[in-house]
Amino acid sequence: MKKILSLLAAFGVMFYLSSCSDDDDPAVDNGVTIEGIPATAAIDNLGTLGPVTATVSGADGLVSLVVTKGTTELETVALSGTTASYDFTYTAVAEDEDSNVVFTFTATDIDGDVATVTHVLTVGAAQTTFSVTENITEDATWTTGNVYVLETRVAVESGATLTIEEGVVIKGAAGTGANATALLVARGATLNAVGTATAPIIFTSVADDIEPGQIVSPNLTDDVNGLWGGLIVLGNARISADNESEQIEGIPASDANGLYGGTDDMDNSGTISYVSVRHGGANIGEGNEINGITLGGVGSGTTIDHVEVVGNQDDGIEWFGGTVSVSDALVWSTGDDAIDTDQAWAGTLDNFIVINAGDEAFELDGPEGSYTGAGHTLSNGSIKVAGASGMIDFDDNTDVDMSNIYFFDLDESQDIEGYSGYSANMNGFGIMNFESTLPFTLDGDGDRTSSTTTLDVVFVDGSDAVVTEVAMGANTVGATVSDFAFTLASQTGALDDF
């Protein structure tokens, strides 16, 4: 009997064992699997991966899933049951730029089994070139290290502020007529473009191969012009014209952002400092080009210093009324006038250099309406006249006070136009200083006669006793080269013999 019972007991155990699968036996190790995570993927810089769904299986019962980035744990997820899903999403951060980021997924079950899957995410390099195709209607910042391409005429509209950080390069696409590219700061808008001596903000053409960190173009010289428009800043200060407000030249009448002028002489359009504008002056119509820097009705609350215009097809810097002052300016190689004033501008241009204007070094006009303004002042300037048609073109009511202005490198064809007409309407401004110090005589039309003093260049930079071909005001030096060390001209040696 005992023998029979022993056999039955053994048979029962065998039956139990044969009726149980391995999956139901906690003594059997069934392992863990992770599926759904790709081995590799790629995203743009600061882009997002996912969601990617991982399926985790463990017949013995799941415990957890741990996700790490490199050696850093990102997340631990508690799991239960024998199957679980997990959605993985990751947004790249700045430190991931242009690199391969390794993620590890580790799943664990009840009895300590572990499964590991590795994912390699390739993150692209940071975008450094951005197309600008629409007007700026809310505050925006253009960031150091980047290039911004103006694909069309772009206006910073009233109420918006555009901040341009040091070293930014802005390139205008090619275009003429209504399609000419330009950056226009409308009335009521603000431009804060503040560069440094070693990292100026550069406006140029898409044809220019220059990149952030460079000052000299690798492929364009100073005499290349008309490749895009220019920089236009408009404000609410008074102008002397037919109307209180006018449409600025270079902008089609259909664009209301082109209006300038008003009643607020202290209007503030922002700060422009250490800014270079190059290779512009695109033609929008017969005889209607865009200046390098256009200032229309800009108020005295605006700060403009250390600016240059190089290779512009039209004028270098032109004021249309307003009260803004400019200091430390360089205008080099313009197709038309270097310095142009209109509509009773009532500010000061101080400490400036002009090199090789295409037409006149100065075209100086006065009021065009009933408002006469307070006149404008030009002081401490050095003018290399070589290549220009003439030195100054006055109109009958030019309202300017000029002092410490030095002209050199003249030739027989260069003259002063309209001076006799202006002399009868001087309005108390200091142009008489100019008349009293001319080392040559003027004919009845205000032109220099051919029987004047020798035209040898006798300008000497840095001296307190400079004898110049034409000196206006006191016998002291005008602008000095050291004030313009940030410019393209200084970088290419154009100022070496100045």
The ranges assigned to domains in the chain are 33-123, 129-491
Among candidates 133, 188, 128, 141, which has minimal Cα distance to 160? 188
Which class in CATH covers the domain with range 33-123?
mainly beta
Among candidates 150, 115, 114, 118, which has minimal Cα distance to 134? 150
Question: Is residue 136 within 8 Å of residue 115, measured between CB atoms?
Answer: no
3-class DSSP state for residue 194?
strand
Beta bridge partners of 341: 319, 364
State phi, psi for 472 to the nearest 5 degrees.
-115, 115
Note the pTM of the prediction, 2 decimals.
0.78
Mean pLDDT lowest among 27-31, 74-78, 433-437, 480-484? 433-437
> Average pLDDT for residues 453-473, to the nearest whole number?
32
Is the pLDDT at 234 greater than 50? The verdict is yes
pLDDT digits (tens, 9 = 90+) for 410-446: 665 566 676 544 443 333 333 333 332 333 333 344 3
Q: For residue 89, name the pLDDT band (cuts at 50, 70, 90).
A: very high
Cα(424)–Cα(391) distance, rounded to whole angstroms?
Answer: 20
Percent of the chain with pLDDT strictly greater than 90: 63
Cα(319)–Cα(324) distance, rounded to whole angstroms?
Answer: 9
Give the residue with greater pLDDT, 393 vs 212: 212
Mean pLDDT lowest among 178-182, 324-328, 384-388? 384-388
Contacts of 468 (CB under 8 A, 6+ apart): 406, 407, 408, 458, 459
> Average pLDDT for residues 267-286, to the nearest whole number?
91
